[in-house]
């Protein structure tokens, strides 16, 4: 087994898991921050000046 | 004639469960009745507690064939054991959930990780109490406040603890309005609780359609152990957001969800027989579950306070505790506590962001835990 069945193993597992959870969820946050671009792609020209 | 009559009666008695009845069965029948009472009288998670309580009563009637191999409740449990029912629950949850609040405010998703310290405090506590590392991991996940995820991780790591862990997880989720507010008030000042937050932006249709697809790709790529749950959540949500398969979306959110809820609750309740449930381990797990919820709430609030050090537009730290998952109970608790301080402070939409992120936070924590504990 990769994680030893000891208190030290539990501490190590907790530290890695807690830290990586932050990293991954921050990554999801970054992806979501780019989402408003999708609306601009979906509605091209909404803010463009109207041509006569 | 008389002898034959006695013989018949004895034969009948042999087939009843009366001879196997012991005080433990009576205690568990009382537990089942209490669950049903709480569901009816106090409205504590009635959709869950009625089924669990009823099956708990039946499972503790000796002689009942329902929980034995070949019995209906036994087959219901196979749905849990084979990890079929928890992903189907997530399909329904996805079809019922609007992820707009999470998409609209991406910086708040960090609270979905911050509110999960309780998982690890309970994990370490369980290890100190002599549980194996697999058992400790399963106990820790109670702190994720996500029933199907707790079941999923427990069945994979420590299936023999399923009754205790699922009951603790669902019971504390029902009791969150009592557990969280004192911790939230203890860790915040009145000024912090009065902070008003501006309404987030409107989220476009394309964003809502892209969200479940992106999430399914990320989870399957990085967290295969928990992919079945989150993939089904994403599928359910996609059915809802595309707007062209309303019939399927409605079926996932209503028909399937209801059938699976009945089957799942009966399956959990049927595992609560006195022989396996009335042990010191059960009390330890129930205590560790409470510790997990308290620390999860505290760490969510503290993460929000730390974020406020760096943010110009301050966030109300009360929404930090919503990152513990348990949608939408935790978000509702944040909104209620904020409203008790200021009647015109409506935080429900802002609290739903971290609350939904908490679902992914639990999945990520569970996924990493499964990946590390199953690796050889």
Spatial distance between the Cα atoms of A41 and A43, rounded to a whole number of angstroms: 6
Is B375 close to A13, i.e. CB distance below 8 A?
Answer: no
Distances (CA, A) of B316 to B28, B106, B188, B208: 43, 16, 9, 26
| Burial bucket for residue B134 (CB in 10 Å: 0-12, 13-18, 19+) | buried
Which chain A residues are within 8 Å of B102, Cβ to Cβ?
A: 32
Q: Are the C-beta atoms of B322 and B351 separated by less than 8 Å?
A: yes
Spatial distance between the Cα atoms of B298 and B296, rounded to a whole number of angstroms: 5
Nearest CA of chain B to the CA of A49: how many Å? Answer: 22
Q: Which pTM does this prediction carry?
A: 0.89
In total, chain A counts a number of residues equal to: 52
* Omega within 30 of 0 (cis) for the link into B328: yes
Q: Are the C-beta atoms of B112 and B177 separated by less than 8 Å?
A: no
Q: Are the C-beta atoms of B141 and B119 separated by less than 8 Å?
A: yes
Looking at residue A52, its pLDDT comes to 45
Please, what is the Cα angle at B160 between B154 and B161, to 5 degrees? 55
DSSP-derived letter for residue B255 is: I
Tell me which residue of B193, B215, B204, B247 sits closest to B356, measured CA to CA: B215
Looking at residue B327, its pLDDT comes to 87
Q: Are the C-beta atoms of B252 and B92 separated by less than 8 Å?
A: yes
Is B368 close to A14, i.e. CB distance below 8 A?
Answer: no
Spatial distance between the Cα atoms of B151 and B79, rounded to a whole number of angstroms: 11
Q: Are the C-beta atoms of B17 and B62 separated by less than 8 Å?
A: yes
Spatial distance between the Cα atoms of B241 and B205, rounded to a whole number of angstroms: 7
Spatial distance between the Cα atoms of B77 and B191, rounded to a whole number of angstroms: 49
Q: Could you report the predicted ipTM of this complex, rounded to two decimals? A: 0.86
- A46 lies within 8 A of chain B by CB: no
Give the nearest partner residue to B113 out of A7, A21, A36, using CB atoms. A21
Sites in chain B below the pLDDT cut of 70: none
Element (H, E) at A25: helix A7-33
Looking at residue B278, its pLDDT comes to 92
Q: Are the C-beta atoms of B149 and B366 separated by less than 8 Å?
A: yes
With a CB cutoff of 8 Å and minimum separation 6, the contacts of B361 are A21, A25, B112, B113, B115, B116, B144, B323, B325
- A37 lies within 8 A of chain B by CB: no
Which residue from A minimizes the CA distance to B109? A29
- A12 lies within 8 A of chain B by CB: no
Q: Record the tokens describing residue B225, joined without a space.
A: 């152990």
Inform me whether the pLDDT recorded for A6 exceeds 50. yes
Is B120 close to A17, i.e. CB distance below 8 A?
Answer: yes
| Burial bucket for residue B185 (CB in 10 Å: 0-12, 13-18, 19+) | middle
Inform me whether the pLDDT recorded for A50 exceeds 50. no
Looking at residue B188, its pLDDT comes to 97
Is A18 close to B107, i.e. CB distance below 8 A?
Answer: no
Which chain A residues are within 8 Å of B206, Cβ to Cβ?
A: 38-39, 41-42
Q: Are the C-beta atoms of B273 and B291 separated by less than 8 Å?
A: no
* φ, ψ at B190 (rounded to 5°): -60, -40
Which residue from B minimizes the CA distance to A4? B133
| CB count in 10 Å sphere of residue A37 | 10
Q: Following CA atoms B169, B174, B176, B179 in sequence, which dihedral angle do they give, to the nearest 10 degrees?
A: -80
| CB count in 10 Å sphere of residue B24 | 15
Is B133 close to A20, i.e. CB distance below 8 A?
Answer: no
Please, what is the Cα angle at B155 between B151 and B161, to 5 degrees? 85
Nearest CA of chain A to the CA of B178: how many Å? Answer: 26
Which chain A residues are within 8 Å of B116, Cβ to Cβ?
A: 18, 21
Which residue from A minimizes the CA distance to B140? A14
Q: Number of A:B CB contacts under 8 A? A: 119
Q: Record the tokens describing residue B153, joined without a space.
A: 């991780």
With a CB cutoff of 8 Å and minimum separation 6, the contacts of B150 are B138, B141, B142, B144, B165, B166, B169
Average pLDDT of the residues of chain A: 85
Percentage helix, strand, coil for chain B under 3-state DSSP, each rounded to 5: 80, 0, 20
Spatial distance between the Cα atoms of B128 and B26, rounded to a whole number of angstroms: 32
């Amino acid at each position: 087994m990769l994680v030893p069945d000891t208190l030290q193993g539990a501490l190590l597992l907790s530290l890695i898991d807690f830290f990586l959870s932050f990293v991954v969820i921050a990554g999801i946050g970054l992806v979501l921050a780019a989402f408003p671009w999708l609306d601009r792609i979906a509605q091209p020209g909404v803010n463009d000046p109207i041509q006569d | 004639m008389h002898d034959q009559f006695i013989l018949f009666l004895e034969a009948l008695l042999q087939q009843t469960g009366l001879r196997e009845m012991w005080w433990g069965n009576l205690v568990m029948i009382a537990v089942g009745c209490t669950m049903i009472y709480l569901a009816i009288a106090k409205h504590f998670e009635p959709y869950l507690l009625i089924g669990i309580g009823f099956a708990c009563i039946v499972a503790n009637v000796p002689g009942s064939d329902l929980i034995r191999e070949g019995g209906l409740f036994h087959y219901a449990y196979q749905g849990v054991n084979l990890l079929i029912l928890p992903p189907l629950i997530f399909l329904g949850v996805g079809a019922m959930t609007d992820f707009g609040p999470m998409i609209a405010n991406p910086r708040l998703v960090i609270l979905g990780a911050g509110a999960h310290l309780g998982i690890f405090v309970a994990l370490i506590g369980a290890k100190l109490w002599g549980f194996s590392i697999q058992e400790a991991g399963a106990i820790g996940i109670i702190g994720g406040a996500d029933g199907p995820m707790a079941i999923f991780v427990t069945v994979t790591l420590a299936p023999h603890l399923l009754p205790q862990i699922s009951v603790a997880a669902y019971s504390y989720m029902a009791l969150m309005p009592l557990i969280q507010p004192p911790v939230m008030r203890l860790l915040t000042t009145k000024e912090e609780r009065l902070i008003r937050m501006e309404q987030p932006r409107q989220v476009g249709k394309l964003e809502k359609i892209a969200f479940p697809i992106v999430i399914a790709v990320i989870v399957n790529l990085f967290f295969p152990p928990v992919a079945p749950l989150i993939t089904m959540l994403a599928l359910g949500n996609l059915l809802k957001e595309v707007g062209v398969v309303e019939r399927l979306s409605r079926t996932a959110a209503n028909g399937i969800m209801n059938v699976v809820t009945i089957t799942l609750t009966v399956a959990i309740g049927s595992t609560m027989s006195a022989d396996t449930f009335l042990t010191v381990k059960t009390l330890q797990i129930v205590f560790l579950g409470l510790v997990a919820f308290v620390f999860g709430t505290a760490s969510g609030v503290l993460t929000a306070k730390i974020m406020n050090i760096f943010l110009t537009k301050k966030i109300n730290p009360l929404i930090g505790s919503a990152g513990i998952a348990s949608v939408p109970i935790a978000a509702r608790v944040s909104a209620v506590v904020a409203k008790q301080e200021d009647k015109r402070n409506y935080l429900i939409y802002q609290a739903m962001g971290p609350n939904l992120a908490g679902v992914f936070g639990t999945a990520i924590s569970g996924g990493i835990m499964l990946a590390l504990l199953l690796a050889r």
